[in-house]
Structure 1
Amino acid sequence: MVGENLRDLNALVLVVEEGSFTRAAARLGVSQSALSQTIRGLEERLGLRLLNRSTRSVSPTEAGDRLLARVQPAMQEIHEGLTQLTELREKPAGTIRITADEFAVHHVLWPAVERFLPSYPDIGVEIITDYARTDIVSDRYDAGVRRGRLIAQDMIAVPVSADIRMAVVGSPAYFASRQRPKSPQDLIEHACINLRLPNHGEFFAWTFRKGGKEHRIKVRGQLVFSTLPAILTAAMAGFGLAYMPELMIRPHVDSGRLVEVLGPWRQTFERYHLYYSSRRLASPAFSLLVDALRYRE
């Protein structure tokens, strides 16, 4: 009923604007008789005559004037709103909200966004750091970035990184008075810097893989942080061993500020994916960003 009323009210507005059923029918792409029937149906539902008709002209009645005083501004707002949506489709613009964990924010999203944004000044990107398995639909995100196994099956997932290799590192100063661990079990004797995941309070597990078998070690130390950069800083200062993505520590290993150990036991996690609802009708801005983030081998 609401849709029918909107359609018929739009027809009424056009008839009054044109002052003619013939010209209004041409704008609507319908016959004059069909338009006359539409207006009669509206009048019958309201129980009021809305238009004075003659062979040469059409004008609103008092009831028609009162109705048009409210309807015409509203129809104009609807038209302007639809026009703005059309412009969004034709010209990439708008803000895209993404949730991602800390590593993905700095080492997956930001390098691509830094290259992408200068070419699209009307597109904004809002990135929220979060480790939880966020429901992007209920929390009103456009997309999320998580490792593959953490993504619900009803989501569209696009790979945005290579597989994530982990590494255990310590500073030369730390190893100056300690033997380097030769197996994951040796870590029990070392000061290790833990990462507490802020959303559920657990320590991030130190896992290793060798010969097709996975090994999980519970480590201890004086320091616990909730951010990876803080762990990296503490490790370089000699306060213990850190378990971190290789991408973050590689420059410091190459420069000699950190030493990698347990290389043969290195764990590799599945790559990150950008995920979004399969029910989402992608805007041009979102489609462009997805393409910019897509990982290419």
Structure 2
Amino acid sequence: MPGTFDDLYFYEAVVRNRGFSAAGRELGVAKSVLSRRVRNLEERLGVRLIERNSSHFEVSEIGRDVFRHAQAAKLEMEEAARVAAQVAGEPRGLLRVSVPPGAPAEIVSNGLETFLGQHPKVRIQLIVTHRRLDLIEDRIDIAIRARSDFSGETDYVVKRLGAIRFGFVASPRLIAGRAAMSDLDDLRGLPMLGRDDMHSEEVLLLQGPHGEEQRFRIEPRVASNSINVVLDAARRGLGVGFLPKVITAAPIADGELVPLLPDWQGPESVFHIAFTSRRAMLPAVRLFVDFISERLKHLFTDH
């Protein structure tokens, strides 16, 4: 058949749910992705499968025939997966997992002994990086990351864990004797800490008290792609850090750090686990996502 199985899979869900929005909610896939996949299938087959506009959804006669074949193909694939699972007997195979440095990487790393002890036939490659990896091109099974912009990632399933906001913090001794800060210009005379280990300057995107956005340029005194290194430098008074509030809450409560200019913070990011729908069929992927999400959620407790 000229169309791909994925296109048939999405088309079957759209027809069964009588619409793109309902199918998207069921599959965890954006409506725009489903619409594109159905158009691809129509182009490959050279026929119109669905007549649609803002108020009308109708499956063509040939579309109903294709739907029946798509249902049959889906059932055959599900049966093949069940047979394979019975043969496999237990989760197995290699999982490639990407995770940002710092607390998330430590939590995942600390959980490996338990998970691998429970599932001895699973192998894991852990890629610790801030780089925005493509799950398909970089062969990533599971990506743990924070994003404020999900454009270009609508083909992925996203399991949201919590929201992250960045804010300015400093050691009390670094700002001792200084007047109370009320504006970004008050930071100009203080050393700054950064997270870009490739460039001498960084630009921080900030949101102000009234929702206004501003770009704030800094020349860090110390920079590292490890959040833990930057946090430790802030504690030691080496500069002002711009760090996630989920990891500065405890040092602030202990008096090691104080918040600066709380009305200015970074855009909200969603901390999440991403994976492709096809990979989610694998027992090892499902089990690891469930296993690690419970541990990562503790980052957001009481914050």
TM-score by length of 2: 0.59
- Distance, in Å, in 1 between the alignment partners of 2:87 and 2:268 is 38
Aligned residues: 214
- Given that residues 206 and 243 in structure 1 are in contact (C-alpha distance below 8 angstroms), is that contact kept between their aligned partners in structure 2? no
Q: Which residue in the other structure is 1:175 paired with?
A: 175
Q: Which residue in the other structure is 1:138 paired with?
A: 137
The alignment-based identity, stated in percent, is 23
Q: CA deviation at 1:171?
A: 0.7
Q: Which residue in the other structure is 2:282 paired with?
A: 283
- Given that residues 162 and 272 in structure 2 are in contact (C-alpha distance below 8 angstroms), is that contact kept between their aligned partners in structure 1? no
Q: Deviations over 1:132-181 (max 9, x none)?
A: 22122232221222334256334323234211021211111101143342
User: 161-170 or 134-143, which moves further after superposition?
Assistant: 134-143
- Given that residues 164 and 245 in structure 1 are in contact (C-alpha distance below 8 angstroms), is that contact kept between their aligned partners in structure 2? yes
- Given that residues 105 and 127 in structure 1 are in contact (C-alpha distance below 8 angstroms), is that contact kept between their aligned partners in structure 2? no
Runs of 4+ in 1 over 6 A off after TM superposition: none
Structure 1 unaligned segments of length 5 or more: list them: 1-83
Structure 2 unaligned segments of length 5 or more: list them: 1-82
Letter of the structure 2 residue corresponding to residue 170 of structure 1: A
Secondary structure of 2:152's aligned partner = coil
Q: Which residue in the other structure is 2:190 paired with?
A: 190
Decide which structure has greater helix share: 1
- Given that residues 95 and 123 in structure 1 are in contact (C-alpha distance below 8 angstroms), is that contact kept between their aligned partners in structure 2? yes
| Cα distance change of structure 1 residues 115 and 182 upon mapping to structure 2, 3 Å threshold | farther
Q: CA deviation at 1:204?
A: 5.9
- Distance, in Å, in 1 between the alignment partners of 2:113 and 2:258 is 30
Q: Which residue in the other structure is 1:223 paired with?
A: 222
What does 1:89-238 correspond to in 2, within 5 Å?
A: 89-103=88-102, 105-106=104-105, 109=108, 116-117=115-116, 119-148=118-147, 149-150=149-150, 152-196=152-196, 203=202, 205-238=204-237
| Cα distance change of structure 1 residues 158 and 185 upon mapping to structure 2, 3 Å threshold | same
- Distance, in Å, in 1 between the alignment partners of 2:109 and 2:244 is 16
Letter of the structure 2 residue corresponding to residue 235 of structure 1: A
User: 130-139 or 105-114, which moves further after superposition?
Assistant: 105-114
Q: Which has more radius of gyration?
A: 1
| Cα distance change of structure 1 residues 205 and 110 upon mapping to structure 2, 3 Å threshold | farther
| Cα distance change of structure 1 residues 292 and 97 upon mapping to structure 2, 3 Å threshold | same
Report the aligned-residue RMSD. Answer: 3.3
Letter of the structure 2 residue corresponding to residue 261 of structure 1: L
Q: Deviations over 1:229-254 (max 9, x none)?
A: 22112111111100001122211111
Q: CA deviation at 1:128?
A: 0.7
Q: CA deviation at 1:294?
A: 4.5
Secondary structure of 2:286's aligned partner = helix
